[in-house]
Structure 1
Amino acid sequence: MESQASVALVVGVTGLTGLSLVQALKQPNCPGGPWKVYGVARRPPPSWFPSSIIDRFITFDAIDSSNTRAKLSPIACQVTHLFWVTFQIRADEEVNTRVNKTMLLNVLTVLKSSASSKLIHVTLQTGTKHYMGPIFDPAHSSQLISHDPPFHENMARLPYPNFYYPLEDLVQSYAPSLTYSVHRSSIIIGASSRSVHNTLLTLAT
């Protein structure tokens, strides 16, 4: 039987980026393919989500380490690529940092703890808040001093709490046992009705 070239775990599969990412991975000419794709979300797939496009839909709460281990352990030794296109937003950036770092750490711990782990790359989606600071946190937003655009990847981190920073540090801590890439998207138009960050909603209004 032909072995699977690449196995993706897309965490946040029903979000703005998730569906488009899965559709791209499932194209017959997608680099690294053929791809087997597992999609992850906290809640069951909504009615509009074409579950048939992925090989398995997995539901769990990544904040819960036991729940994460129970759901991911059966496939942990298969996953070659982790696509992290999810986040949770809380009232302030310190809580954002704790929650989002815990989520990513729980998933990486399961994927890397297997003696037969095949994980070779992590793709991390963050955003331009990397260059602007915690613009949605009332405790900081009124006094932020941001970088001036255009933004460049090598710009120094800002001296404010920002949950993107520890996510990057966490992924980097696994190098060189795996490679990683960070994608700081700005405006995203996606097919998800679950995100208030969908620019399409603003344009439609």
Structure 2
Amino acid sequence: MEQENHPNVTNVALNVTGMAGLSLAKALKSPNALGSPWQVYGTARRPEPSWFPSSIVDKCITFDATNTDDTHDKLAHIANKVTHVFWVAIQVRENEEANAAMLTNVLNVLKSGPTSQLSHITLQTGTQHYMGPVHDLAHSAHLIPHGPPFIEDLPRLSYPNFYYALEDLVASHAPSLTYSVHRSSIIIGASSRSMYNALLTMAVYATICRHESMAFRFPGTHYTWEHFCDMSDTRVLAKQHIWAAVTEKAKKQAFNCTNGDVFTWKSFWKVLCEIFNVEFVPFDEAEEFDFVGMMEAKGKVWDEIVEKYGLYKTQLNEICCFVAIKNVLHFGFQHVCSMNESREFGLFGYAD
């Protein structure tokens, strides 16, 4: 039952059943959550998978945010209830207009009418804000990113970036709505179908190597093997989202969000080897191999592993991001974000 004089929040992220959305829903339903109690409307483009714990949302709504009519039909009945939007949805392969259109469609419904309760938007973007289109081969050859550590007040780069369009969109709704921007690093978390879950990709790669008695070789460069990188645990992201949504001084601010530590891939590779019981192979630049081609051909091998161990049935191309991982492991710069701004504003989340 809804309680009076408490905020009711809806999570309108299209991937609420994916990495960031799942952790966010869990965090919102925690009795210790800031602004608690929350009512959570989980949303997704596809029906929730069978493993998804439906108890962490009050209702799950399936709709296509790229479709104006479908968005209106599915969200109109809660337009007078929603007070906060947690936007963690992107169409990575689409352009700036497509991503802005999705959020515009949602806001047009939730802001319509005299009884609208919408007050705040938390927008999750990422470190491509500082790096530019690193996954776009048409631009990456001549890409000049900002130097690390990445800090929030660095100027925008002169490359196409749908994150910029989304930031401009939420800012355009001020002062009628407040907002906060959350720039995550490489996101890791629990998910069964997030193509950009870097940790899940590494886990699948290690599992296939063990299954086929293959060497678990590092598919990157000597530079990334030796230099620093950081990541964003979805649980840390969720805490920052909620904190900014209910903390007045965090409004109209952009915050990096990482685990608060850094690592080298060389040290992390040893940890993966221990966890997945595969032999550690020191990096050898002379043994460069076609990581993407090799792994994209392992669909049937993954099916065998799923069947052998009774795993949740997934398709390899649904859960892995071999091209994206290869790009990350070929960066010519250290991927490190400053967390000073969050700390200065009073948030001290951390994950190892």
Give the TM-score normalised by the residue count of structure 1: 0.94
**Partner of residue 79, structure 2:** 76
Deviations 1:109-166 (A, max 9, x none): 1111121111111000000000000111121111111100000100000000000001
- 2:18 aligned with 1:15, yes or no? yes
* Residue number in structure 2 paired with 1:28: 31
**Deviations 1:40-79, CA, capped at 9 Å, x for gaps:** 1000001111112100000000000000000000001100
**CA-atom RMSD, angstroms?**
1.2
Q: Match of 2:141?
A: 142
Deviations 1:163-201 (A, max 9, x none): 000100000000011111110000211111221211212
Listed one character per residue, the Cα deviations across residues 4-33 of structure 1 (whole Å, up to 9, x for unaligned) are 612222112112100110101001121111
Aligned length: 201
Map of 2:171 onto structure 1: 172
Q: Is contact 1:4-1:35 (8 Å) kept?
A: no
The 4+ residue runs of structure 1 with deviation greater than 6 A are none
Q: Which amino acid aligns with 1:62?
A: A
The structure richer in helix per residue is: 2
SS of equivalent to 1:172: helix
Taking only the aligned residue pairs, the percentage that are identical comes to 62
TM-score calculated relative to the size of structure 2: 0.56
| Structure 2: stretches of 5+ with no match in the other structure | 206-352
Alignment of 1:55-66 (within 5 A): 55-66=58-69
- Higher relative contact order at CA 8 Å, sep ≥6: structure 1 or structure 2? 1
- Equivalent in the alignment of 2:4: 3
Structure 2 match to 1:159: 158
Amino acid corresponding to residue 166 of structure 2 in structure 1: L
SS of the residue 1:165 aligns to = helix
Conserved in 2, the CA contact under 8 Å of 1:124 and 1:180? yes
- Is there any run of 5+ residues in structure 1 with no aligned partner, and where? none
Larger Rg: 2
Q: Conserved in 2, the CA contact under 8 Å of 1:4 and 1:34?
A: no
The answer on whether the counterparts of 1:15 and 1:85 sit within 8 Å (CA) in structure 2 is no
Q: Distance in 2 between matches of 1:13 and 1:164?
A: 19
Is the deviation greater in 74-83 or in 186-195? 186-195
